[in-house]
Every structure is written in C-alpha cells, then in structure tokens.
Amino acid sequence: MSDDQGLVLTSQRTDLIGRLRTTLARRTEGRALALLVVVAIGAWITEPVVFTSYDVTLGRIALIGLVALGLTAVILMGELDLSVASTLAVAGVVMASIDNLAIGILAALVVGLVIGAANAFFVVVVGINSFIATLGMLFFLRGLGFVLSDEQPVRLSNIEAGISFGKPLIGDFTPRMLIFIATFIAMQIFMTRVRVGREFYAVGGNRQAAYDAGIPVRRRIFTGFMISGIVAAGAGAINTLERTAADPTAGSTVLLSSFAAAIIGGILLTGGRGSVFGTLLGATSLGILQVALTLSAVQVDVQNIIIGFVLFVAVITDPNSLRAVVGSARSYLRARTAPQPQS
Amino acid sequence: MSENLAGRSVTPTTSDGGDGQQTAVTAPTAEAGPPAQVGIEQRDFHLLAWLADRGIIVFTLALVLLAAAFVDGFASVDNITDVFNRAAPIGIVAVGMTFVVISANYLDLSVVAQVATAAVVLIGISNETNIPLAMLLALGIALVYGVVNGVAVGVFKANAVIVTLATTFMGLGILRWASGGSIYFGPEDSLIRSFGTTEIGPFPLSMIALIVIAIALHLVLTRTTFGFMVKSYGSNREATRLAGVNISLVVIGAFILSALGAMIGGFVLAAFSNTAVSAMSDGFDFEALAAIIVGGTSVFGGRGSVLRTLLGVVFVSVLTNIMVLSGLGFGYQQMAIGALIVVAVSVDALARRAAGI
C-alpha cells in the first residue's frame, strides 16, 4: 500500500483532492457502502431495534461474515471456493464425533486445512478450474458429511461447553463475535501488511507477471485455499458449539450469504481487487438487512429472494461488467451511426 | 487522472473487459463464414486423451455389464424401466445444459429452481385451469430464466456460477413463497398422469422424449449456425466476437436452451411422480453437470456433444441405481457424483496437458 502511495505522490497529483480522487478510484467498496447506508437508514426508520439490541445484529454479522473473510483470500487470487459450505458441515460433524472437545476442535481445523489443500491440489497441480473443482468437492463433502453422521445430527458430548459458548464472554460480546473480530483483524493485517498477503493481490491481478516477479504462485494459491478451508472449518466448529450438535445439512444458506458478502463487498471475481474491509462492509449490510427483515416478520423465502437479488445486482454491477456493457452499447451505437464500411 | 491510474495500476485490464469492447467497431454485418470445425486432431496415442475422448463408451458398457452380472435385481425389466424413469428428467436437463457448458460458462445452477418451478406450475396451475395454460405459463417462466441468466452472463460478462447461484435462490424463494411450500397432487386420470405411466416395452414415454430431444439438440449443435457459434464462442470468445458474431445473443441462446431443457425436465418429473413440490429437484444441477462432464464435454468449453451427454446420463443413472440396489445411502451417492465430477474434469485437464494444448 505504502509503495503505491509513494508513486502517486511523486507524480502530478500532489494536492489533497487529487490524492483523494486517486484513492477513491482504486476502491471497490462503493457498492457495499451504498448498500450499507440504504439498509442502515431503512432499518433505522422501520426497525430501530436492529441498533438498540445490537448484539443480535452483531451475532448475525459474525455468522455471515466469518466464512466470507476466508473466501476473500481465495477470491482475491481470482479463484473461487464453493466447497466452504460442505467444509463447514463436515468439520462440524468430525468435531462432534470426537468426545474430547479440544481434540475435536483441533481435528475440525485440520479437516479444514486438508480440504483446502485438496482444493488447491486440483486447481494448481491438476489444473482444473477452481469453480468446477470446488463444486465437485462441495458435493463430495456434503455426501461425506452424511456418511460420517449417518444422516443424523451428531450431538456434542460436552454440552456445557456449548451452552457457555453461546453466552457473552466480554461485555455483550459472545465468543463468536470475538472470533469474528479477531479473524477480521488478522486477515486485514495479513492482506495489507504481510508480504505473503500482499502477493495474493499480485497473483490475482496478473498471474504471469506475479510468477515472473518471483512470487511462488502455486504456494500462494495453496495458502489461500487453506485459509479459506480453515476459516470455514472454524465456522463449522462454532456452529456446532452453539447448537451443541453438528448438522450434516448445515451450510446450504452459508453458500449464498458468504459469497454475497464478499461480492457485495467489492471483491472482484477476476481477482486482484478488493479488500478485507469490503467484505466486512458487505457482511455488515447483509446482517443488518437480515435482522431487519426478520424483525419485520418477513418469511425466510422472501429474505432469500431479497439477498439473491442483492447478490445478482452486485455481480452484474462490478466495474468490469459495467465497462463491458458500456463498451458494447457504445460500439452498437457507433455501428449504427457510423457510415458502413465498404464491403 | 487516467495517466495516474494507468501508471500505477496493479490490475491489467482483462482481455474480455471493456477495452476490447471499445474496439468492436468491425462491420456488424460481417458474415461468420463457413464455421470451421475446431476439433483438435490427435495423431499420437495418449492414454489420457483417449480416456477423455472415448473412455465413457467403454466405462458405460463395462458398468452396465458388471451391474448385470453382479448386482442383484439390476437386470430386470422393472428395474431398467425405473432407471429410465429417473434418468429421463435429469437427462433432459443435462442435454439442454450442455450448451451452457460448451459455451465455456461452467454450468447453470439455477436448473434446480427451474425444474421445480416448471413441475409446480404444471401440476398446480393445471389443477386450477387446464394443461395448455399451465404449460404456456411455465414456458414464459423458462424464457425469463434464460434471458435473465443469459443477459447477466452474456451482456454484463458476469460470472455464470455466481449469477445462477443468485437466480437459484431468487427462483426457489419465489416458488416457495408463492406455493407456500405445499405439495401439489395431480388428478389420477389426467393426461399428465397417463404420460408419466405409459410404457412402450421397458421404455417409458419420458425416456423416448429424452431421446427425441437429445437428437433434436444434437442437430441444433452440429447442423445450425447457432450451434457452431456456441462451440466457437466456447473455444475462443474474442475470436468469435471479431468474426462478427453477436456473442451476447449466443450466450443468451445457450441459457434459453438450458432453461427450456429444465422446463421439459420439470414436466417429465411432474408427470412421473404426479406430484410437485419446491424441493423435488435437489441435486439436479450436480447430476446434470456430472452427466455432461463424464460424457466428455469439456468444462473448458468448445468441445462436446449432446449425444455424449446422453451417454453420460446413462452412466450416472446406472451408477446411482447400482448404489441404491447395493443399499448405499444418499450420502454415498452424493460422494460418488462429486468424485465423478472431479475425476472426469481431472482426466480432461491432464489429457489436454499431455496433448500439449
């Protein structure tokens, strides 16, 4: 980040407004910010409870955002990890199947790492497109979750731990929120201040250039998928603790909301652009939206329609898409108005 | 300002981004010319390439023979009819979706919502009014799905997986909200019911419908300009655009065909069970994709055929049937199909690399 700023400073634009404009032009969080403002104002007017009982809202944001934070690392490299939904379910089932809680949590996280490494193996070594590789894994792991659990919810043996896990730990913050905040801070530092994290942007921006610049692209992709896997597994462990049981069908709605959070947050699917903070904004606006809709007694089906619509709008309004539309509209108009070239 | 940005921009403009579009002032009337077959001739023998190309025929035959020999209850007329009955709706969905896969747009996840919607509309609306009206309404909905997905992917150049994920949730949400999640039962003496129960030998009518549709779509893919354009777009979208093809329309067309396939698949599914509920098509997206990929259509786009998908449907259905007969539950079936997708795509990818493509 600081290198980029230095470049700007040495070029023509040194005044404050100019710097502000260049900074803003690079950001991709605009849509998330706009949605957040609209949703927050709407919720403020219709359901002010969203903000007065902010712990509920925060809990929902943490639920949506945690998996999305892990996904951010993968999407920034221009890849996609659809298997997070099943990773969450399998990790939860593995954790609940082990009697010792600590070993269970550890095993769940290891499962996440292994799944991430397997995804990366197919993407990097075999050379499959990550959309298809992780889609296959999504289905495979969903089946694995059913097989391991006998298609039944698996009860956690240590129920007391689960019950205390759902209670506020520091102030009004439950452990889930604290873990979410800690993950956010860790990811934010990793992606903006740590060399490896910065190199993720290079890999996503231009893979060949990154490779030529000496960045170990394959290793970075492995790291990214393992981050996404372990975060999803952690989310699975948290779910299992809070519900004191692991549900093999968990995670079907996670897919929609976590991708929605990351994409609304401005993480471009082509890679290279976006920020962890954007994902936080996306998750926050979605969380407020969901809680407000639930408080207004809107059915889950209708909530899904709204969130699906928001995701749809977000994915067709990213800068690349808009440029494509403007470009084709312009060439269409030009083709109609320009004199026909002789054939 | 723009100089500033260009000077330090870390992200290069992607090739299919706007910059390419702005140069699209080539004569729009340019003829596509006789579309050349973009097949890759392979002289040397590569085991992987052979597997990716012809393997499915051998595997399907081997699977059917092994099942007939070793799995109790497989080789009976009742069971074969059952396999056909279950294969037909997925098959019809898969042959339609083949166009989306060949156009290098991965897949159409929203077929799950489309199949369920078509089934619920057919049974629910025909109970209230009559069958033609229900079918007309379902056709309208299918066109909406095809156009919405197609415009988002073809005009806005958005990612097909995310777009169709979004439309799936919107579509299922609308369906559940409109139907209240209730199950619709068709009358016992209706035309729909008799379509679902009529059998010619071991062939249910739905299987014959699948074969007819597959042949029709095969002709569309191999004998029409549109079919060539889909293949050409899947191989190289930039070259296709420069050749004067309206690539947005090609993508929209592929998604409309996928939507029509999903609609007919929904009709057939509804006729078979004579009931319709919003959750009846879970997993159709994956099973259809598995059939397409196992058949040898490449997810990298450009290569593939509808008849191959038909073979893939047979393979996936027989495999599922064997697992059911062997008492392996839902979880194992899902694992198998997930593994099948990954393995088949891996073979394809490795074969391409071995062949030096």
Asked if residue A338 belongs to a domain, the reply is: no
Asked if residue A42 belongs to a domain, the reply is: no
Q: Which two tokens stand for residue A225?
A: 């998928």
DSSP letter at B35 equals P
Residue B151 has pLDDT above 60, yes or no: yes
Residue whose structure tokens are 């956690």: A156
- Collapsing DSSP to helix, strand or coil, B110 comes out as coil
pLDDT tens across A298-307, in order? 888 898 899 9
Asked if residue A339 belongs to a domain, the reply is: no
Q: B319 phi and psi, to 5 degrees?
A: -60, -45
Partner residues linked to B200 by β-bridges: B203
| Cα separation, B160 vs A284, whole angstroms | 25
Asked if residue A33 belongs to a domain, the reply is: no
Where does the pLDDT of residue B13 fall: very low under 50, low under 70, confident under 90, or very high at 90 and above? Answer: very low
Least confident span in A296-300, A301-305, B259-263, B298-302? B298-302
Where does the pLDDT of residue B254 fall: very low under 50, low under 70, confident under 90, or very high at 90 and above? Answer: very high
| Cα separation, A187 vs A48, whole angstroms | 31
Contact B334 A142 (CB under 8 A): yes
Least confident span in A224-228, A269-273, A320-324, B163-167? A320-324
Distance to chain A for B15, nearest Cα, Å: 11
Partner residues linked to A170 by β-bridges: A173
Residue type, position A247, single letter: D
Residue B6 has pLDDT above 70, yes or no: no
Residue from B4, B169, B250, B320 whose CB has the most chain A CBs within 10 Å, to mutate = B169
pLDDT tens across A133-146, in order? 998 999 899 999 99
CATH of the domain at A253: 1.10.3470
Distance to chain A for B332, nearest Cα, Å: 6
Q: How far is CA B174 from CA A61, A251, B108, B179, B343, in A?
A: 25, 21, 18, 8, 35
Chain A contact set for B23 (CB, 8 A) = 331
Residue B221 has pLDDT above 90, yes or no: yes
Asked if residue A127 belongs to a domain, the reply is: yes
Asked if residue A343 belongs to a domain, the reply is: no
- For chain B, percent of residues with pLDDT exceeding 70: 87
Beta carbons of A278 and A69 less than 8 angstroms apart: no
Q: What is the pLDDT of residue B5?
A: 36
- Collapsing DSSP to helix, strand or coil, B184 comes out as strand
Asked if residue A176 belongs to a domain, the reply is: yes
Burial class (CB in 10 A: 0-12, 13-18, 19+), B153: buried
Residue type, position A150, single letter: D
Angle, CA A194 vertex, CA A193 and CA A198 arms, to 5°: 85
Angle, CA B191 vertex, CA B189 and CA B196 arms, to 5°: 95
Global ipTM = 0.84
Residues 53-72 of A with CB under 8 A from B: none
Nearest Cα residue to B300 out of B254, B250, B353:
B353
| Cα separation, B67 vs B315, whole angstroms | 11
- For chain B, percent of residues with pLDDT exceeding 90: 39
Asked if residue A116 belongs to a domain, the reply is: yes
Q: Which range of residues forms the domain containing residue A208?
A: 54-160+169-315
Q: Which two tokens stand for residue B138?
A: 């379902």
Q: How many domains does chain A have?
A: 1
Residues 133-192 of A with CB under 8 A from B: 133, 135-147, 151
Domains along chain B with CATH numbers: 43-354 (1.10.3470)
Give the containing element (helix H, strand E) for B118: helix B111-128
